[in-house]
Amino acid sequence: MINFVRDKKKMEKEKTDKKDHILDVAERVFAELGYDGASTRMISGEAGVNMAMLNYYFGSKEGVFLAIFERRITTFQTVLLSIGNDDSINSWEKLDKYLDSYIDKVVTNNCFHIMLNREISKSKKNELTDQITDIIMKNVTVFQNIIAEGIKKGDFNKDADQQLLVATIFGTKNYIVNTPHISSRVLGFDVLDTNIQNDVLKPRFKKYMKTLLKAYLQNENDNK
């Protein structure tokens, strides 16, 4: 067996790569089978590591689950927050930017969002669902503020139902991303195919969402 010479830098890189690899696999398996349906043996098996490594690295199965979260949420939320707080653009532009960023992210990281929504859909509360709720609410609040601000400024129709509009944008996204078997049959192509996602789904989804929101939020006496 050949023994490579590896410096410390390289090692650390490989270590985090290994942990990252485990999380990649776990994220996919959790999305495929759900948290309860996915076993630690299956995850470690597909990741090509010993089962005990999951506990060695992440402490427990739940630790793996939470590690997946921490990896995804931080950068994403700061991006959305910065859009919400950008005072140099008007409400319509904010809406556009938010939708562009949001749709890009959730379509690309669909495994994560499938996993996330499966767990939050458990109607019985527990520590985990509370944590997930808080995470999701941060994204929701940014969107809500954009709408509320737009209405206050007079850019958006004041009769709009802010709360249910939240349900529409996030619900529409969830439908496409989280139930791929259904949405693929409705749309006529495989929504999980990366190429189709980038070339067809994302632009079409963005365009649709903007048109829909414009139709609903536009003041009745306005013309475009």
Partner DNA sequence: CAAAATTAATCAAACGATTGATTAGTTAAA
Partner DNA sequence: TTTAACTAATCAATCGTTTGATTAATTTTG
Among positions 23-62, residues that touch DNA (CB under 7 A) are: 38-42, 49-56, 60-62
| Position 121 contacts its own copies (CB under 8 A) | yes
| Position 133 contacts its own copies (CB under 8 A) | yes
Among positions 29-68, residues that touch its own copies (CB under 8 A) are: 31-37
Closest CB to its own copies among residues 15, 204? 204
User: How many residues line the site for DNA (CB under 7 A)?
Assistant: 24
Q: Under the phi-then-psi rule, with left for phi > 0, alpha for psi from -120 to 50, and beta for the rest, what region is 60?
A: beta
Least distance to its own copies, CB of residue 111, Å = 8
Among positions 162-181, residues that touch its own copies (CB under 8 A) are: 163-164, 166-168, 170-176, 178-181
Q: d(Cα 170, Cα 166) in Å, to the nearest integer?
A: 6
Angle between the N-to-C axes of helices 61-84 and 110-120, in degrees from 0 to 180, rounded to the nearest 10 = 110
Binding site for DNA (CB under 7 A): 1, 3, 6-8, 11, 15, 18, 38-42, 49-56, 60-62
